[in-house]
Amino acid sequence: MYLSFPIIIKQRKNLLILIGSITLLIGLKINADEIKLPEMGDHSAVILSPEQERRIGQQFMQQLRGAIPIIDDPELTTYIQSLGYKLVAHSDNGGQNFTFFIIKNPTINAFAAPGGYIGIHSELIVNTQTEGELAAVMAHEIAHITQHHLARAFEHSSRLSLPMTAAILTAIIAGAASGNPDAAMAGLIAAQAGSTQSQINTTRANEKEADRIGMQTLSKSGYDPFAMPSFFERLQQASRYYGLEPPEILSSHPVTRNRIADAVGRAEQLVTNNTRQLLVKNENDLKFYLMRAKLQVLASEDDRETIKYFSQSLKTGHYLNKEATQYGYALALHNAGNRNEAKKQILALLEQDKDNLTYQLAFAEIEESTGQLKTAFDIYKKALDLYPNDYTIVINYAQALLRNNQPRIARDLLKAQMELGQKNGWTYLLLARAGENIGDQTESHRWMAEYYYYHGQIGMAISQLKLASRSIGNDFHEHSKIDARLRELEAEVKINKKMDL
């Protein structure tokens, strides 16, 4: 089953259509003649132009950020983006831009959306046991985009009758209004029940193609392709204990023994035993386990339960990686306010690996929270000496500087990041705060405008630019820059209206 993800946009003549997809990792055996890759000039590849996909993606992310919590921790974001880019480099990518992000959600799932946006639920990451398993999910989602499945979904949706489209929209709105996601899903499935068999076959073919292409990408990127079937086999076994509520990823895409066996057979064709041993060894990367532990802490709703979990894991030896478990324990203790014990745990880890950046950043944060500012800032400075211009260090350091009334140093560090191309939500937001703390309202409004624009909130961005223009005084040069940017955004609003976005 191919389950649509509710991204609602306007089509010409005010038709509302459902595009996009929650694209899930499944293992299905296929023959080469069953799959036809898009040919050059295939109309499915041009139903959505790159510019249309970009704009739809921006709208999607704007709605998403307003509806659900996205984990934007700099270190986790850098990790998931790096892993994603590694896979993209070995995919059939034709120049498509990608954005990988983590959603704080207690269900095991992942999805792809127009514009190359790929979201991974926090619970899915926590339930993976190797980086290869996580990479398998991401490779599958990447394949949905590179093989133009979203464009095909758009073409298919544009042919839906108005009653069908209205039924889908009504189901989504009714479920959202009730605050019951199950009601929304039930209504959506009921509305889709009228789809033709050809529509079902199309989505099944897309899933098969994404599995095959995703597994090839996984192998080319240096990961064990057996990670794909092994992850789902474990989920299938675990689902026996879920009763009537199995993991979301299995509810929407049941995984049979035959599918797992077929995926294993496909993996056997991609690697030899000797090659697999090397791949498995490479997947046991400490960074993955550290980020997994950090995510467990950030996604937790109960600090005491999280502390208990990591403490018990350390005592019993039930863990995938001891260092990562100790690190997670330290973060949980720090979140709960037990700074002394948290510091003790981090120092023990630093004794084993003094140059580990993840440990250094945690130590700096603990020292700052206890008022040891000199020590904290020294840690950040030394870390920058070891890893010059590292984005994660700069963002953490800049936040610490702003919290402790040193906005000018923070601004200089952030502007250097901008020059290196790190133009994103964190740099814009912190530059805006630095400008405000310095007393430069024009700069603060200008950077807040870029922050809002980055998140797709173009109306708010225009409002901030107007505030910047009014606060600037008689500086003709600055007026010119702000007015030029304002005209750009106002022109974009007009284009969006013409495209009915």
Please list the active-site residues: 141, 211
Q: Are 469 and 483 in contact (CB under 8 A)?
A: yes
Which of the 8 DSSP states describes residue 5? P
Q: Are 10 and 261 in contact (CB under 8 A)?
A: no
Which of the 8 DSSP states describes residue 31? -
Helix (H, G, I), strand (E, B) or coil at 95: coil
312 residue type, one letter: Q
Please count the other Cβ atoms lying within 10 Å of the Cβ belonging to residue 398.
27
- In whole angstroms, give the CA distance from residue 304 to residue 402: 30
Residue 354 parent element (H or E): none
Q: Can you say which residues are annotated as belonging to the binding site for Zn(2+)?
A: 140, 144, 207
3-state secondary structure 366-398: HHHHCCCHHHHHHHHHHHHHHCCCCHHHHHHHH
- In whole angstroms, give the CA distance from residue 463 to residue 210: 42
Beta bridge partners of 10: 16
Residue 462 token pair: 């225009």
- In whole angstroms, give the CA distance from residue 449 to residue 461: 4
Q: Can you say which residues are annotated as belonging to the binding site?
A: 140, 144, 207
